[in-house]
Structure 1
Amino acid sequence: MSSQRATVLIAGAYSVDLVLTDLRGPVSAGTEVWASGLDMVPGGAFTLAMGLRRLERQAVWAADFGTDVFSREVLAMARREDLDEAGFRHHQRPVRNVTVALSDRQDRAMIAYEDPVTARPLAELIDVFRPAVVMLPFLQFGPDVTDALEVAAQHGARVFMDCQDYPGHIGMPEVRKALGQVDVFAPNESEALRVTGTGTVEEALVLLSSLVPTVVIKQGAAGAIASTNGRRAAQASLTVPIVDTTGAGDCFNVGFVHRWMDGSPLHDCLAAGVACGAAAATGPGSSNALNAAELTTWLTRLPH
């Protein structure tokens, strides 16, 4: 795929998720807990690129890989999923990025490690690939981010930003400035409360909506709520057999952006996000990310 044809630019590191499921007891210091299931699946920004590819979207993923076994595993999976490699950089040293997820049917605990690597500047990536949409997997702010988002605006690119568990709150001027430059901000419920310092999701939605044109708050098994230019929408989820929720939020983002790019109404974007997120939770990591035909089927199952 040439750079001029890239529709979505995804800027973010890969991760290998080592997912241990069906824990036989609570995890605490000084104890050993057995798991009944173990899977190793690619995660991180790989999930966004893979999910969009399965939904037949053109995307370029900017990521770094090294000589280690984890880099090789993700590269092999990326090639099996037929991902565009135009944004890949290869280093002659390990570039490990590993998350161990201890997952049960209620929640998960995660331990992460990454080798330091200087990412390619976001402004440069936007200038080279000229995307229609920029997907940022976590809350980013500061002078370099502000400059990059100005480049995105100059090229007419819209920006979708997740939150993840990254430091920063709206009491910080740089955070407020960055949020004012994105089109969609999509934290989950706990992230929304932390970033805003509010006590309820409704308060968080109102406050974030004063900064960002479209705010989406993911609520896990409860679905999601959103606001765009004063219009509200909500979508309940459906009951599914939970295996692992590690990749569910990223898969939600994929479904939402997939419909958002078509100019679909907010509720339809939420529905696609909830369907993709629910489906992901039925398998380890993002292994059950939906393709286009599967998404159509899952949408018919959602409560109205």
Structure 2
Amino acid sequence: MTPPDRNHPDLVILGNVNVDLIMGPLAQWPAEGEEVLVPELRWRVGGNAGNAALACHALGTDALTITSVGDDLAGTWLRTQLTGHAVHWLGSATPTSVTAAFSHPGSDRSFVTYLGHLQHLSWPDLAPHLPPARAALLAGAFLTPRLRQDYPALLARLNTQGTAAALDFGWPDGGFTPDIRAEILGWLPGVQHLLINELEAAHLTGAATPQAAAQHLAAHLHPHGTVVIKCGARGVVAHHAGREYATPAPTVQVIDSVGAGDTWNAVYLHGVLRGATLDEALQDAVQVASRAISTEPRQFR
């Protein structure tokens, strides 16, 4: 595997890397004062950016992740887990962010996050370390609130230097209010790849189907942009240059679906950067992400 070029990588990943504690399956939330036991626990690198970075490393993508980390036990652990990966760490005096992810019977998940160091990650911190790249993945906007405030400046920088922007903003803590929807739509003219899930698309647009949501969002995107809506076990739908695409997912026995969409993003961008057609990039991303969530430890090929 050729080591990534930190000065001129193909892909830069910007966003949230944190510790994930994954527990479950949890059939029902306990009432206040009660305790329930779960049979499974995993402790691993997480966050939208962290999951994408792991997948890129496994795929051999020429990718550099730029993020912050706390100066504590959890932060030290994160650094050791990503040794050998191309990561530029920005130190933080705030404790490292931790997400408790609860799996439920079936494939639904719930997340409880302590933002910690992520609440201080900002554009002035990142800007001096952002190299020219062919593409950049902006991951977890609503888990990096200070960086999100400067998304217009960040997107302008990417567009000026010829870097294609890919966006997976995640779920806003307060839901999709009118102000939040207006903020997201304001980002889209500078975005070449919008990579979101079905629930986010529905709440952002009010559309009744993923296909209608993709068509609606494509009108707001960069003129050459692609909208992809990830629909879980049903695969993905996409819209590009006036054409609709649909790629079904294989039937698999899900072991752990946390980070499935982040893995999908990494595989899709890996394909795009290697010159794959849109159909090929969509199909490969669905296949690899499906394999990842159905293997333990995760396998990407």
Report the TM-score range of the alignment, normalised by the length of the smaller protein.
0.7 to 0.9
Deviation for aligned residue 1:22: 3.4
- Decide which of 139, 157, 160 is 1:151's aligned counterpart: 157
The 1:251/1:143 distance shift into structure 2, 3 A limit, reads: closer
Deviation for aligned residue 1:161: 0.3
Residue of structure 2 equivalent to 1:301: none
Deviation for aligned residue 1:83: 0.8
Deviation for aligned residue 1:245: 1.1
Q: Secondary structure at the match of 2:294?
A: coil
Q: Which runs of 5+ in 1 are unaligned?
A: 295-304
The 1:218/1:145 distance shift into structure 2, 3 A limit, reads: same
Task: Determine the C-alpha separation between the residues in 2 that align with 1:232 and 1:170.
Answer: 27
The 1:106/1:219 distance shift into structure 2, 3 A limit, reads: same
Does residue 1:246 correspond to 2:258, yes or no?
yes
Deviation for aligned residue 1:89: 1.3
Equivalenced residue count is 284
- TM-score computed with the length of structure 2 as normaliser: 0.86
- Decide which of 44, 51, 75 is 1:47's aligned counterpart: 51
CA contact (8 A) 2:15 2:141 kept: no
Q: Which runs of 5+ in 2 are unaligned?
A: none
What is the identity percentage for the equivalent residue pairs of Structure 1 and Structure 2?
24
Q: Which moved more, 1:124-133 or 1:222-231?
A: 124-133
Task: Determine the C-alpha separation between the residues in 1 that align with 2:126 and 2:17.
Answer: 19
CA contact (8 A) 2:236 2:246 kept: yes
Residue of structure 1 equivalent to 2:138: 136
CA contact (8 A) 2:10 2:273 kept: no
The 1:126/1:273 distance shift into structure 2, 3 A limit, reads: farther
The 1:15/1:142 distance shift into structure 2, 3 A limit, reads: closer
- Decide which of 178, 195, 198 is 2:204's aligned counterpart: 195
Equivalent AA in structure 2 for residue 137 of structure 1: A
Deviation for aligned residue 1:152: 0.9
Deviation for aligned residue 1:180: 1.1
Q: Which moved more, 1:183-192 or 1:172-181?
A: 172-181
Q: What does 1:103-182 align with in structure 2 at a 5 Å threshold?
A: 103-104=103-104, 105-116=106-117, 117-121=119-123, 125=127, 128-139=130-141, 144-166=150-172, 172-182=181-191
Residue of structure 2 equivalent to 1:77: 81
Deviation for aligned residue 1:155: 0.8
Task: Determine the C-alpha separation between the residues in 1 that align with 2:244 and 2:125.
Answer: 32
Deviation for aligned residue 1:232: 1.7
Residue of structure 2 equivalent to 1:19: 22
* RMSD between superposed Cα atoms in Å: 2.4
Residue of structure 1 equivalent to 2:37: 34
Task: Determine the C-alpha separation between the residues in 2 that align with 1:208 and 1:134.
Answer: 20
Q: Secondary structure at the match of 2:220?
A: coil
Task: Determine the C-alpha separation between the residues in 1 that align with 2:276 and 2:299.
Answer: 21
Deviation for aligned residue 1:37: 1.1
Q: Which moved more, 1:198-207 or 1:215-224?
A: 198-207
